[in-house]
Chain A
Amino acid sequence: GEDVEQSLFLSVREGDSSVINCTYTDSSSTYLYWYKQEPGAGLQLLTYIFSNMDMKQDQRLTVLLNKKDKHLSLRIADTQTGDSAIYFCAECPSGSARQLTFGSGTQLTVLP
């Protein structure tokens, strides 16, 4: 079955890099996503990666994909207090374009 796992908490100092990890199980997943959720708000898409890519960089965000190990990571460079939020990874199984399977979310706390 489909399952996406993330560690629940991460705490970093302002200015450091944050790395949020995710493992997924559905090898047919064609796209993997990272979403951000701030308190009282919906989800905001940060970035996504196609399964035939190893890495994608978008400004302060770097996504690494290890398809063999089904491991996805999101690195946030120069983490700021405004980055404090819950980060979700999600997979999109092949043939289910709109049916995302989300991880449990990682609460990122950025300390001043």
Chain B
Amino acid sequence: KAGVTQTPRYLIKTRGQQVTLSCSPISGHRSVSWYQQTPGQGLQFLFEYFSETQRNKGNFPGRFSGRQFSNSRSEMNVSTLELGDSALYLCASSGGRQPTDTQYFGPGTRLTVL
């Protein structure tokens, strides 16, 4: 069974640009969550999608948005990039939304904003 895949793995952008990151969950998984990981702030929850609907949202500005498609693949978009958006963006998929439903993480997309 293939794991969670994230594309691209590495990305370099400049301030003011926008970026779209993609996450393909494990086959059959309907829940996809996104996290931002930085040395200063650690791992922070961005949002969660289940059955194409955003279920939870973390404390991030509106520049951060996402969506989920009918095949459960998810994208997140960051508009008007700032230097502080440089981070590792991780997505995780799970079969359900219960706390005991294991979240499987992808390897992440490393975004560098210059």
Question: Which residues of chain A come closer than 8 Å to B56, judged between CB atoms?
Answer: 96, 98-99
| Chain A residues with CB under 8 A of B102 | 45
Cross-chain contact of A98 among B4, B44, B97, B106 (Cβ < 8 A): B97
Interface size on A, residues (CB 8 A): 23
CA distance A23 to B94 in the complex (A): 26
Q: How far is the CB of B24 from chain A (nearest CB, A)?
A: 13
Q: Are A43 and B100 in contact (CB under 8 A)?
A: no
Q: By the criterion CB–CB under 8 Å, are A101 and B97 in contact?
A: no
Chain B residues, Cβ within 8 Å of A104: 42
B→A interface (CB under 8 Å): 4, 31, 33, 35, 42-45, 48, 50, 55-56, 58, 90, 92, 94, 97-108
What 4 new A-B contacts, CB under 8 Å, besides A98-B103, A99-B58? A30-B99, A42-B108, A90-B43, A92-B99
**5 interchain pairs, CB-CB under 8 A:** A31-B99, A45-B103, A97-B98, A97-B99, A98-B97
